[in-house]
Amino acid sequence: MEKSNMVQEEKFGEKDFQTIIGNLLRYGVWISLSVAFIGGIVYLIHNGNQIEDYSVFKENDRNIFEVIATIYNGAIQGNGESLIFTGIIFLFMTPVLRVLLSLFSFLLEKDYLYVGITLIVILIIIISISFGFSH
């Protein structure tokens, strides 16, 4: 009888983790969309009359840390463009946080096969980000 209680407690804990992960995805998307939407409104208020010249492409040679610092400082100052980028970063980070939460869930369940697979996914994400910003 004690063994069945352990199984029920284990399933209850797993269900709680799935609820947390589901809420993370749901609220992460809503928060990122809200921040980007507010940033769009702020951007249009301040730059709505400007005409963009899309015939000229400006390449960015800065590394990821400089870009994130610029976006952070701009968002703190209420810059619309930076708020839009902050929303995009939140949207990108939502599934990354889901993978990290899954890693902790698999560690608690002692499911080492999925811990290994999740670590490989995290490594792929890190490599993708690293090579995406290097020239």
Instruction: List the domain range (segments joined by +) for residue 112.
Output: 13-48+60-132
Looking at the domain assignment, is residue 75 inside a domain? yes
Would you give the end-to-end CA distance of the chain in angstroms?
61
DSSP state of 96: H
- Quote helix, strand, coil % in the chain, to nearest 5: 80, 0, 20
Looking at the domain assignment, is residue 19 inside a domain? yes
pLDDT of residue 72: 92
Q: What global pTM score does this model have? A: 0.72
Whole-angstrom distance, CA of residue 42 vs CA of residue 35: 11
Looking at the domain assignment, is residue 33 inside a domain? yes
Looking at the domain assignment, is residue 34 inside a domain? yes
Per-residue burial over 44-59, b = 16 or more CB atoms within 10 Å of its CB, e = otherwise:
eeeeeeeeeeeeeeee
The predicted-structure confidence for 6-49, as pLDDT tens digits, reads as follows 444 455 567 787 888 888 899 999 999 999 999 999 999 988 78
The predicted-structure confidence for 78-110, as pLDDT tens digits, reads as follows 999 999 999 999 998 998 999 998 898 888 888
Nearest Cα to 62, choosing from 71, 73, 74, 52? 71
Looking at the domain assignment, is residue 86 inside a domain? yes
Amino acid identity of residue 127, one-letter, is I
Looking at the domain assignment, is residue 93 inside a domain? yes
Looking at the domain assignment, is residue 39 inside a domain? yes
> What's the domain count of the chain?
1
Looking at the domain assignment, is residue 90 inside a domain? yes
